Amino acid sequence: MTRIAVFPGSFDPITLGHMHIIKAGLTVFDRIIIAIGQNSNKQGYFPLEQRIHWLEAIYADESRVSIQSYTGLTVDFCRTQQAHFILRGLRSAADFEYESVIAQTNRTLNADVETVFILTDPQYAHISSTIVKEVHRHGGDISKLVPGQIIDSIK
Ligand code: ADP
């Protein structure tokens, strides 16, 4: 059985923290689908097309990683992709509290999909897309928080 995992999130924008989780995830899964959840009530800070474009550029040479956007329930998206795993990253106990509620709910919605957590490397534990957006909004330097492709493209 091919082990396919969906890594769902906003990726607004992708950070070095996300990339660490994807790299570690590739040691466990055969394929990872980075899935950008679209929320009609919530516009992103960076446009969806831009976020997809960055992800495609970053993973252009990694055939085991693909990029998609989706609407609706993550477990329903998993079903359409024949993915039996949801990959999520953990930075802290607060992340665990939040993530465990979502994972338990997803299990009740679809028992065929298992959520797998990977702990972040401590050097990335303080990084979130929210912090990146805040620093960027105020003209600060985000080069230690996001991949170089993003820095090059927003220069
Ligand atoms: P969401 O809006 O669903 O939280 P994000 O794009 O912010 O989407 O995050 C997607 C996933 O990546 C989540 O599991 C989140 O915990 C994880 N993540 C975000 N930042 C980091 C980080 N610095 N280290 C490890 N995991 C992270």
Residue 14: helix, strand or coil by DSSP?
Answer: coil
* Reported confidence tier of residue 40, pLDDT bands at 50, 70, 90: confident
For residue 88 and ligand 1, the question of a CB distance below 6 A is answered with: yes
pLDDT for 37 equals 96
Handedness of CA 117, 129, 123, 24 (dihedral sign): positive
SS3 content of the chain, % helix, strand, coil (to 5): 40, 20, 40
Is the pLDDT reported for residue 27 higher than 80? yes
Contact status, residue 6 vs residue 78, Cβ threshold 8 Å: yes
Owner of token pair 């998609």: 68
Question: What tokens appear for 97 in the block?
Answer: 């509290």
* Reported confidence tier of residue 42, pLDDT bands at 50, 70, 90: confident
Which residues, other chains included, contact 141 with Cβ-Cβ below 8 Å and sequence gap of 6+? 135
Going by alpha carbons, the residue nearest to atom 22 of ligand 1 is: 17
Active-site choice (40, 42, 137, 155): 42
* Reported confidence tier of residue 52, pLDDT bands at 50, 70, 90: very high
For residue 74 and ligand 1, the question of a CB distance below 6 A is answered with: no
Task: Name the pTM for this structure.
Answer: 0.96
Which residues, other chains included, contact 126 with Cβ-Cβ below 8 Å and sequence gap of 6+? 91
Contact status, residue 115 vs residue 106, Cβ threshold 8 Å: yes
**Alpha carbon distance 30, 118 (integer Å):** 16
Going by alpha carbons, the residue nearest to atom 16 of ligand 1 is: 89
Residue 33: helix, strand or coil by DSSP?
Answer: strand
- Cβ burial of 89 (10 Å; 0-12, 13-18, 19+) is buried
Single-letter code of the amino acid located at 61:
D
User: What is the rounded average pLDDT of the residues 54-78?
Assistant: 98
